[in-house]
Structure 1
Amino acid sequence: MTAEANPSPLRLERGRQAAPQVFDHLRERILALDLKPGEVLSRVELMEQFGLSQTPIRDALLRLAEEGLVDIFPQHATMVSPIDLTHARHTQFLRRSIELEVVRTLALAADATVVATLTANLDRQKAMVNTEDYQSFWALDQSFHRAMYEAAGVPDLWRLVRSRSGHLERLRKLHLPTPGKTMRIHSDHSLIVRAIAAGDPDQAQRHLRDHLAGTLGLVDTIRDRYPGYFRD
């Protein structure tokens, strides 16, 4: 992580503790692959970048380490962690288990307001399909799934899954630019919403299972394309 010459400190929000803000900023950059696996995070540079002392920087890095997003080597360096495929598969198992129940719950209720909320998100996704603005499409994908958790009354489980998803999300980010991938995601989401609207929990679960299987089924291809990004 190379600091620019005389960088201006990033502005932090007043009234919020500094360490959580540093954590949020670095986490988003790691998940977006702006900070790539294996990249060194200099504490001195981070202190200059944020205009902070060592303590909040250390606390933010420790939280990132707890999520498996950085590896801390005492007295040596802190590095963005490689993608751990075992961790990604475990997270996928957790997420699939929860979301199968989420879509079942929504389909059994078949609430028109929920369907309208999800459909509005789908419309925004569709507008992004043929662009190369993958970051914006990714944000819509995340908000689609978060909306389902919230509609099912389990928003805390979304936060739990998110806190475990760093390796899986980076793997999915690497897959997203593949030609046709955004169109496939939009199509999968549309099928899930149709099943929810029709009050068909079995179909909703089937489409959800198919949707979540895509990226991990192509791990070898993705790993061959980005060989330095993965833990041996």
Structure 2
Amino acid sequence: MHEVSREIQPASSSATRPIKRGSASTQIHNALRDRIVALEFTPGEFLSRAEIAAYYGVSQTPVRDAMMRLEEEGLLIIYPQSKTLVSKIDVAHAQEAQFLRLSIELEVTRRLAQAKASDRITKAHTCLSLQRVSAAANDLDEFSRLDRAFHAALYDAVGVANLWNTVTARSGHIDRLRNLNLPDPGKSTSILSCHERILAAIDAGDTGTVEAVVREHLSGTLAQVDRIMERNPEYF
């Protein structure tokens, strides 16, 4: 397996990035997860516990705990007393996570459409407006962040915000696939179109349309998986 060892450096000139008050393990887990999902840490890459601890200004204990959580999520492979590697993208895991997310979001959006819950999707409309701006600026990082915020807002609108956290914890592999797919021509336009049509169907109380659009929206990346793998064989 290909290994890459590199110093954990921040984007700024600062040599370290001390964490804020609170759970060091949770903060490091979230930060490392974000960097893995964003493909800043690439599949097959070697991560040094000591370097990460030095970067965040903590002992190795919270780093170890964070890495163990990431291993449980399938994003790291830990070889005891040896090394820790970023996992390759597992398509079967991605498909399973997609099944879970689709099952939940079909019910989330159906309930919102049945209730014609325009008053509960204001935050999702705001996310969509900001997504249009980030798409126009070709800011894919911000576009991706707002994409997650859009879907989280729908879960929150029906009172199941914690289920979004459950889905997110299972979605590391499919999210990496999405980040490989996002730069493709027309992908961001397709996402915006689906988001617009989902909200319009909820406003109109059209459960049939909202189900069809959610299915279309959430199947897009997996429909392209063969092409994504062909372009990035080293990630799989």
Normalised by the size of structure 1, how large is the TM-score?
A: 0.94
Question: Contact (CA 8 Å) 2:33, 2:70: kept in 1 or not?
Answer: yes
Question: Contact (CA 8 Å) 2:75, 2:172: kept in 1 or not?
Answer: yes
Q: Percent identity, please.
A: 46
Q: Report whether the alignment pairs 1:8 with 2:15.
A: yes
Question: Contact (CA 8 Å) 1:102, 1:152: kept in 2 or not?
Answer: yes
Q: Report whether the alignment pairs 1:143 with 2:146.
A: no
Q: Distance in 2 between matches of 1:147 and 1:9?
A: 33
Q: Distance in 2 between matches of 1:39 and 1:184?
A: 32
- The alpha carbon displacement at 1:195 in A equals 0.6
**Counterparts in 2 of 1:175-186, with a 5 A limit?**
175-186=181-192
Q: Distance in 2 between matches of 1:115 and 1:8?
A: 42
Q: Distance in 1 between matches of 2:104 and 2:85?
A: 31
Among candidates 101, 104, 114, match of residue 107 of structure 2: 101
- The alpha carbon displacement at 1:208 in A equals 0.5
Higher mean C-alpha displacement, 85-94 vs 48-57? 48-57
Q: Deviations over 1:32-88 (max 9, x none)?
A: 111111110011211221222221111111011011110001222100111000000
Higher mean C-alpha displacement, 120-129 vs 130-139? 120-129
Q: Deviations over 1:122-147 (max 9, x none)?
A: 22112222332100000111111000
Equivalent residue, structure 1, for 2:41: 35
Q: For residue 3 of structure 1, what is the amino acid of its counterpart?
A: E
Structure 2 segments unaligned to the other structure (5+ residues): none
Equivalent residue, structure 2, for 1:116: 122
Q: Distance in 2 between matches of 1:79 and 1:64?
A: 11
Question: Contact (CA 8 Å) 1:65, 1:72: kept in 2 or not?
Answer: yes
Higher mean C-alpha displacement, 107-116 vs 204-213? 107-116
- The alpha carbon displacement at 1:180 in A equals 0.8
- The alpha carbon displacement at 1:199 in A equals 0.4
Equivalent residue, structure 2, for 1:155: 161
Runs of 4+ in 1 over 6 A off after TM superposition: 4-7
Structure 1 segments unaligned to the other structure (5+ residues): none
Question: Contact (CA 8 Å) 2:47, 2:84: kept in 1 or not?
Answer: yes
Q: Distance in 1 between matches of 2:107 and 2:8?
A: 47
Question: Contact (CA 8 Å) 1:7, 1:48: kept in 2 or not?
Answer: no
Equivalent residue, structure 2, for 1:73: 79
Normalised by the size of structure 2, how large is the TM-score?
A: 0.93
Q: Deviations over 1:141-169 (max 9, x none)?
A: 11110000000111111010001000000
Question: How many residues are paired up?
Answer: 229
Q: Distance in 2 between matches of 1:119 and 1:47?
A: 39
Question: Contact (CA 8 Å) 1:72, 1:78: kept in 2 or not?
Answer: yes
| SS of residue in 2 equivalent to 1:132 | coil
- The alpha carbon displacement at 1:17 in A equals 2.1
Q: For residue 118 of structure 2, what is the amino acid of its counterpart?
A: A
Higher mean C-alpha displacement, 125-134 vs 203-212? 125-134
Among candidates 97, 122, 130, match of residue 91 of structure 1: 97
The alpha-carbon distance between structure 1 residues 73 and 202, as it changes in their structure 2 partners (threshold 3 A), is same
The alpha-carbon distance between structure 1 residues 125 and 165, as it changes in their structure 2 partners (threshold 3 A), is same
Equivalent residue, structure 2, for 1:207: 213
| SS of residue in 2 equivalent to 1:79 | strand
Q: Distance in 2 between matches of 1:124 and 1:47?
A: 35
